[in-house]
Amino acid sequence: MKILVCVKQVYVPGTDVTIDHSSGWIQYNPTGFRLNSYDEYALEEALLIKERIADTRVHAVSIGPGRTEVAIRRAMEIGADEGIQIRYEKEGYLSPYQTASLISSYAKEKQYDLIMTGVTAEDDMQMQTGQMIAGTLNYPYASSVIKLEMKTEHLVYVERECDAMRRECVELPMPCVLTIQSGINKPRYPALSNVLRTKQQKLMEIPAQDLVMPEAREKIIKVFLPETTARGVFLQGSAKEKAVELLRILHEKAFL
């Protein structure tokens, strides 16, 4: 069995962000990136399948500039057998449709039995790439998968997380695409043997221009930081002084 796990390098939540007004895009801190945490659940699920089914190979693919190598190698340290880097050197917005088209263009001739992604990415939270990969390849898919079982070598059973604490149970023929919800498993830490192997292993590099990437169906009009509408006040002094000051503020704001 061959499994392709799509991983993304995202900006660490909480890291300061500045806007480059000349380019109209975010100016990143080069050290502020990490592997998308939702993709770690997809990777772990692929590795669990590998442990149960002999001769299973797990590949990790990511799109982006040179810095994305770190995210791919992190996936390999966790357990992926091979890493594929689709080199797209432009910093800027890459739509889910374009991302899905690049991954589909790479994967369509590689005979993957399963293509797995995290349910979403921490940076844009769009939750579209996995479904668009399935649509581009004309594969069946299930999103927000919270349980997964291999029924046969050609059939997978999944349970999807739905609204109001409900689950939808479906069986899908392979090849298919699954987007994996957080909480389905507990992602593992890298093993030392994998870390040492990864240091010596080369990635497969594919220039994005060698694959099919259509024109964007959408474009960014403007990127800006939200305006600060309220500011906190820290009260100083003893407990009594702070209590008196708090009462004064509440009266001033007509809350009391």
Task: Indicate the range of 100-114, 140-154, 231-245 predicted with least confidence.
Answer: 231-245
The structural domains of the chain, ordered by start, are: 2-210 (3.40.50.620)
pLDDT exceeds cutoff 80 at 30: no
- Phi and psi (nearest 5°) for 67? -65, -20
pLDDT in tens, 202-228: 999 999 999 998 888 888 888 888 887
pLDDT the model gives residue 145:
97
Write out the chain in H/E/C secondary structure.
CEEEEECCEEECCCCCCEEECCCCEEECCCCCEEECHHHHHHHHHHHHHHHHCCCCEEEEEEEECHHHHHHHHHHHHHCCCEEEEEECCCCCCCCHHHHHHHHHHHHCCCCCCEEEEECCCCCCCCCCHHHHHHHHHCCCEEEEEEEEEEEECCEEEEEEECCCCCEEEEEEECCEEEEECCCCCCCCCCCHHHHHHHHHCCCEEEEHHHCCCCCCCCCCCCCCCCCCCCCCCCCCCCHHHHHHHHHHHHHHCCCC
pLDDT the model gives residue 39:
97
pLDDT exceeds cutoff 80 at 46: yes
Residue 165: pLDDT band by 50, 70, 90 thresholds?
confident
Which position has the higher pLDDT, 163 or 169?
A: 169
pLDDT exceeds cutoff 80 at 230: no
Task: Indicate the range of 60-64, 199-203, 214-218, 238-242 predicted with least confidence.
Answer: 214-218
Q: Which of 75, 61, 141, 142 is nearest to 103 (CA)?
A: 61
pLDDT above 90: percentage of residues in the chain: 73
Answering whether pTM is above 0.95, one says no
pLDDT the model gives residue 83:
98
Residue 254: pLDDT band by 50, 70, 90 thresholds?
confident
